[in-house]
Amino acid sequence: MPVGEEYYPSLIKLNTGRNSLEYILLVKGYRTIYLPYFTCDVLLEPIKHLGIKLKYYHIDSNLDPIIDFELGPTDCIVYTNYFGLKQDTVNRLSTYIDNLIIDNSQAFFSEPLPHVDTFYSCRKFFGVPDGAYLHLNTYTRLNVQSDVSIERFSHLIKSIDLSIEDGYTDYIENNKALESNSIRSMSSLTRKILSGINYEECKAKRNANFKFLHSFLEESNQLKFPGLEINGPMTYPFLVADPSIKEKLIERKIFVPTFWPNVFHWASKGMFEYYLANNLVSLPIDHRYNLDDMTRILNNLTQLI
């Protein structure tokens, strides 16, 4: 992929991942949607906006969906390609589920399957304030206006010129600004930034960082990934019995997010999804980090487990 070109130049370019889901729902006319308990609550926005019936489903210890229900012709199911590590499951589901929607917000480098509606969120991987890609397996298109991103860059600028901590308040404000934002096409500014990224280098760094951590943590990780093929994953998901490790790492200036706080309200304490949200340590491996950083993370982690 040469620098100067977007990674998905042929896909529909939109402003947010949640609006990509709304785009699918509008075009396909679905009336009921199945979401995993273990997912981000921003996906509720388009569902509530369109008045679609919502049902939840469980995932198992391999992060695979437990499909103990039947999909009708106006029903759809969203499956999250967790951490960019579940492409085999995506491939398998695509062989027998017609109304499948893949959330690749955590799997930017996973190519969409030709016959499966798939959406991506750019800001989960790169220094942009917004931006999403949508692969739609129909030629129907909505007529939308272009978005403007100029007011959403302050957290990115502060994180570069000051620190990530200094930009965090602005980051929260940017998230609020994206709430209930109407479907628009990707801004020219975001497209310009995305056209200047060396994607192969970013992917290679993520792969190297993941492999390094996995070589040391595989045996102690409660999450197992048999036959794993990595392709620029989002993070290294390390599942442990001690839920205090996340906070202890944060105290040591190793930022590990919680995926996702809303799960504590959706799920009960006895559910696997609750355990995941509470105990998963999502270690950073993105292209800003090198193997020296991974060594520091690993050294701190091994002191705690």
pLDDT of 80? 98
Pair 87, 110: CB distance under 8 Å: yes
Would you list the DSSP string of 114-161?
Answer: TTSEEEEEGGGTSS-SS-EEEE-SSS-----PBP--GGG-HHHHHHHH
Phi, psi of 156 (to 5 degrees): -70, -40
- Across the range 105-133, mean pLDDT stands at 95
Q: Is residue 6 part of a domain?
A: no
| Residue type, position 154, single letter | S
pLDDT of 163? 46
DSSP state of 32: E
Q: Categorize the per-residue pLDDT at 153 as very low, low, confident or very high, splitting at 50, 70 and 90.
A: low
Residues 95 and 113 in one domain: yes
Q: Among the three residues 178, 194, 210, which one is the final residue of a domain in this structure?
A: 194
- Across the range 233-250, mean pLDDT stands at 96
What is d(CA 168, CA 160) in angstroms, rounded to the nearest whole number?
Answer: 12
Closest among 94, 106, 90 to 232, alpha carbons compared: 106
Q: Categorize the per-residue pLDDT at 171 as very low, low, confident or very high, splitting at 50, 70 and 90.
A: very low
* Among the ranges given (42-56, 64-78, 223-237), the one the predictor scored with the smallest mean pLDDT: 223-237
Q: Categorize the per-residue pLDDT at 170 as very low, low, confident or very high, splitting at 50, 70 and 90.
A: very low
The number of folded domains in the chain is 2
- Better-predicted residue by pLDDT, 102 or 5: 102
Q: Is residue 5 part of a domain?
A: no
Torsion of CA 112, 116, 122, 124, to 10 degrees: -100
Q: Among the three residues 194, 216, 244, which one is the final residue of a domain in this structure?
A: 194
Instruction: Identify the domain containing residue 247 by its residue range.
Output: 199-302
Phi, psi of 16 (to 5 degrees): -145, 160
Q: Is residue 256 part of a domain?
A: yes
Residues 178 and 204 in one domain: no
pLDDT of 181? 73
Residues 63 and 24 in one domain: yes
* Among the ranges given (103-107, 108-112, 150-154, 221-225), the one the predictor scored with the smallest mean pLDDT: 150-154
Q: Is residue 2 part of a domain?
A: no
Q: Categorize the per-residue pLDDT at 155 as very low, low, confident or very high, splitting at 50, 70 and 90.
A: very low
Q: Is residue 4 part of a domain?
A: no
Residues 73 and 206 in one domain: no
* Among the ranges given (122-126, 155-159, 273-277), the one the predictor scored with the smallest mean pLDDT: 155-159
Residues 221 and 183 in one domain: no
Residues 131 and 263 in one domain: no
Task: At 160, list the tokens.
Answer: 């570069």
Residues 51 and 180 in one domain: yes
CATH code for position 255: 3.90.1150.10
Q: Is residue 188 part of a domain?
A: yes
Which strand (E) or helix (H) includes residue 215?
helix 199-217
- pLDDT of 101 above 70: yes
Closest among 109, 106, 50 to 76, alpha carbons compared: 50
Closest among 255, 242, 263, 305 to 282, alpha carbons compared: 255
Residues 297 and 171 in one domain: no
pLDDT of 182? 82
Residues 149 and 294 in one domain: no
Residues 159 and 286 in one domain: no
- pLDDT of 176 above 60: no
pLDDT of 4? 74
CATH code for position 182: 3.40.640
pLDDT of 194? 94
Which residues, 6+ apart, have CB-to-CB distance to 278 below 8 Å? Answer: 243, 264
Q: Is residue 25 part of a domain?
A: yes
Q: Among the three residues 160, 194, 228, which one is the final residue of a domain in this structure?
A: 194
Residues 223 and 207 in one domain: yes
- pLDDT of 127 above 90: no
Q: Is residue 235 part of a domain?
A: yes
Q: Percent of the chain having pLDDT more than 70? A: 88
Residues 89 and 74 in one domain: yes
What is d(CA 111, CA 247) in angstroms, rounded to the nearest whole number?
Answer: 34
Pair 38, 265: CB distance under 8 Å: no
What is the rounded average pLDDT for all residues in the chain? 90
